[in-house]
């Protein structure tokens, strides 16, 4: 089998000298499926590879391996010969003050030390991803908090770096009068506090995407730009995007991180045009260090928004600002997206997430139970994980229902109880497709309301609960995103849907009536879906 090192030698031999010169200090890092990762010493070289050399490099690699190979370029400053010389000189003179400029972030992940690549002999940073891929045991581990430990993310506040400063130059600790308060910045970043790397379970289905996400968060704008994560609904793309945001913010003081779904980006853009506030819009998305943009497939067919996003992308990329994108499909399958955008997505690293295997599903349930303080014995977790196989959101929903049912009946969570609850939730045989209109129709008729009531603005108690239950069921039983669900309910904001989801989860374990309503409605909706 061809080895990447050999193939790279062939690449070098096959290029004309003027092109080869760009690769003198490059290094092939690893081959993951059809992506060859290549490290270069600086951003400028990366730009040359991405724009000028890419077609020839990919052609020669494709010929060598006999299958389609694409490259992703990462910056590893230690490949710069001048830097090596400097570092060698420093090593020869140990009495000199240590040179930090090219070191990795010294602070570890607030919860668990991230196991990183052994440092080069010259002390330079190596992307975490390589060792995580070659030996999964090396992937950063963010274990469950020990029951006896204080919440670990509050432990040992790591010294932070100022964003834009070289790695290792430590910013002064926050002194209580920052220009922007932590809460404000958090609000602006719009990150869900629950979606962190600590709460993300790593398995073979997501190891590559996770390792790349950690590498990107540790060296934003440097490791892989853009990073694109794709996979089916409910497999953790949004979770990883938020986790990157949190980790960047914990490593770099003042880093401007912004998470946005593509639907919100589109709506924001339309409103900005309508209100003549284009420059404000542009500032919001271009004056950031890390832009996390979710569900990019939503831009398909939206020509003007794509145009705007294209310019946002270019501005950020040219300024070495990190862009992370999620999509429900591989970029080449985003057929209604302009070529120039798809093309740019391929400049960086594309990682996919697959449905988790049984062990990972069990581990996810275990972690979820621990973080939500839900008690469920191992055989019940295993049973749920066996029953719900594809969507992690559904997996979590099943755990919540089982524990809610037990708490309402003041019964322990055991296998027979889990069997009863899941029998209705997950019918045998093929999975029927549930739509938002089915959910809304069934909910309206169950509560004696109309669809207009569900979409309207009345806040009477019954109506609010019915609306929230319908939103909760849309979240659990369909693949619709938060903004899409909001749209279905009279153009409500995605935060309203998030609130409804949380509220119903809580009420299900507190009020039997709500639990019964949700269960009955689920049965009716699934029954209807099976008939279609």
Binding site for ligand ATP (CB under 6 A): 195, 199-201, 206, 231, 233-239, 328, 364, 367, 392-393, 396, 479, 481
Encoded tokens for 382: 């295993």
Judged by beta carbon, residue 201 or residue 211, the one nearer ligand ATP is 201
The single-letter DSSP state of residue 219 is S
Q: How far apart are CA 397 and CA 240, in angstroms?
A: 19
Crossing angle (nearest 10°) for helices 358-371 and 392-408: 50
309 in Cβ contact with 334 (< 8 Å)? no
CB of 256 to ligand ATP, least distance (A): 22
Judged by beta carbon, residue 234 or residue 245, the one nearer ligand ATP is 234
Q: How far apart are CA 140 and CA 230, in angstroms?
A: 21
Number of other CB atoms surrounding residue 337 within 10 Å: 23
CB of 265 to ligand ATP, least distance (A): 15
Judged by beta carbon, residue 102 or residue 488, the one nearer ligand ATP is 488
Q: Given the structure tokens 């979409």, which residue do they identify?
A: 455
234 is in an annotated binding site: yes
Beta-strand relationship, 227-230 and 349-352:
parallel
Question: Whose CB is nearest to ligand ATP?
Answer: 236
Q: How far apart are CA 318 and CA 467, in angstroms?
A: 45
Q: How far apart are CA 286 and CA 439, in angstroms?
A: 39
CB of 199 to ligand ATP, least distance (A): 6
Beta-strand relationship, 322-327 and 227-230:
parallel
238 is in an annotated binding site: yes
**Within the chain, how many helices (H) and strands (E) appear?**
23, 10
Judged by beta carbon, residue 49 or residue 369, the one nearer ligand ATP is 369
Kindly tell me the burial class for residue 113, based on how many C-beta atoms sit within 10 Å of its own C-beta (0-12, 13-18, 19 or more). Answer: exposed
456 is in an annotated binding site: no
**Residue 294 contacts by C-beta under 8 Å, 6 or more apart in sequence?**
237, 238, 241, 259, 260, 261, 262, 326, 481
Judged by beta carbon, residue 239 or residue 256, the one nearer ligand ATP is 239
- Torsion sign (Cα): 415, 418, 423, 429: negative
Single out the residue of 109, 40, 104 nearest to residue 72, CA to CA.
40
Map 234-248 to HEC letters: CCCHHHHHHHHHHHH
Judged by beta carbon, residue 49 or residue 399, the one nearer ligand ATP is 399
237 is in an annotated binding site: yes
CB of 360 to ligand ATP, least distance (A): 7
Encoded tokens for 282: 């542009």
CB of 508 to ligand ATP, least distance (A): 16
CB of 364 to ligand ATP, least distance (A): 5
CB of 255 to ligand ATP, least distance (A): 21
**Residue 273 contacts by C-beta under 8 Å, 6 or more apart in sequence?**
none
Judged by beta carbon, residue 124 or residue 384, the one nearer ligand ATP is 384
CB of 43 to ligand ATP, least distance (A): 30
522 in Cβ contact with 425 (< 8 Å)? yes
Judged by beta carbon, residue 195 or residue 347, the one nearer ligand ATP is 195
DSSP per residue, 45-107: HHHHIIIIIHHHHHHHHHHHHTS--EEEEEE-GGG-HHHHHHHHHHHH-TTSPPP-TTPPP-S
Collapsing DSSP to helix, strand or coil, 267 comes out as helix
CB of 157 to ligand ATP, least distance (A): 24
Judged by beta carbon, residue 240 or residue 529, the one nearer ligand ATP is 240
333 in Cβ contact with 196 (< 8 Å)? no
Q: How far apart are CA 446 and CA 35, in angstroms?
A: 51
Judged by beta carbon, residue 173 or residue 378, the one nearer ligand ATP is 378
253 in Cβ contact with 165 (< 8 Å)? no
Beta-strand relationship, 227-230 and 161-162:
unpaired
Strand partners, 28: 38
Judged by beta carbon, residue 161 or residue 238, the one nearer ligand ATP is 238
Annotated binding site: 234, 236-238
Annotated binding site for ATP: 234, 236-238
């Amino acid at each position: 089998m061809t080895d990447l090192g050999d193939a790279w030698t062939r690449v070098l031999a096959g290029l004309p000298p003027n092109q080869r010169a760009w690769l003198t200090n490059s290094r092939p890092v690893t081959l993951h499926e059809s992506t060859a990762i290549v490290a270069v010493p600086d951003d400028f070289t990366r730009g040359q590879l991405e724009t000028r050399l890419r077609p020839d490099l990919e052609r020669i690699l494709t010929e060598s391996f006999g299958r389609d190979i694409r490259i992703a370029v990462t910056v590893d400053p230690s490949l710069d010969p001048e830097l090596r010389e400097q570092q060698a000189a420093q090593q020869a003179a140990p009495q000199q003050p240590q040179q930090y400029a090219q070191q990795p972030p010294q602070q570890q992940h607030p919860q668990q030390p991230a196991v990183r690549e052994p440092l080069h002999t010259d002390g330079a940073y190596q992307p975490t991803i390589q060792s995580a891929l070659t030996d999964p045991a090396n992937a950063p581990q963010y274990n469950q908090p020990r029951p006896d430990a204080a919440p670990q993310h509050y432990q040992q506040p790591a010294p932070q770096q100022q964003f834009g400063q070289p790695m290792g130059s430590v910013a002064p600790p926050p002194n209580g009068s920052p220009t922007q308060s932590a809460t404000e910045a958090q609000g602006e970043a719009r990150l869900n506090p629950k979606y962190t790397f600590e709460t993300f379970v790593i398995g073979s289905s997501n190891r590559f995407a996770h390792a790349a996400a950690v590498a990107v968060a540790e060296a934003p704008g440097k490791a892989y730009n853009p990073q694109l994560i794709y996979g089916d609904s409910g497999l953790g793309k949004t979770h990883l995007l938020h986790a990157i945001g949190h980790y960047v913010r914990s490593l770099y003081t003042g880093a401007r991180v912004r998470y946005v779904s593509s639907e919100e980006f589109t709506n924001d853009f339309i409103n900005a045009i309508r209100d003549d506030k284009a420059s404000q819009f542009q500032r919001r998305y271009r004056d950031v260090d890390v832009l996390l943009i979710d569900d990019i497939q939503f831009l398909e067919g939206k020509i003007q928004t794509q145009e705007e996003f294209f310019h946002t992308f270019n501005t950020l990329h040219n300024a070495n600002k990190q862009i992370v994108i999620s999509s429900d499909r591989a970029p080449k399958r985003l057929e209604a997206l302009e070529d120039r955008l798809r093309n740019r997505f391929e400049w960086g690293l594309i990682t996919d997430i697959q449905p988790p295997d049984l062990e990972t599903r069990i581990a996810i349930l275990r972690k979820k139970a621990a973080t939500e303080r839900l008690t469920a014995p191992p055989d019940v977790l295993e049973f749920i994980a066996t029953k719900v196989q594809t969507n992690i959101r559904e997996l979590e929903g099943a755990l919540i229902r089982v524990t809610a049912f037990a708490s309402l009946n003041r019964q322990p969570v055991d296998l027979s109880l889990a069997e009863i609850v899941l029998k209705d939730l997950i019918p045998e045989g093929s999975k029927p497709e549930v739509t938002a209109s089915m959910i809304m129709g069934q909910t309206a008729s169950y509560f004696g309301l109309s669809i207009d009531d569900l979409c309207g603005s009345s806040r009477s108690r019954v109506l609010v609960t019915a609306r929230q239950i319908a939103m909760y069921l849309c979240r659990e039983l369909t693949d619709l995103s938060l903004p899409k669900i909001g749209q279905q309910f009279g153009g409500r904001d995605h935060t309203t849907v998030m609130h409804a989801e949380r509220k119903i989860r809580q009420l299900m374990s507190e009020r039997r009536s709500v639990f019964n309503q949700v269960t009955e409605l689920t049965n009716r909706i699934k029954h209807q879906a099976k008939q279609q």
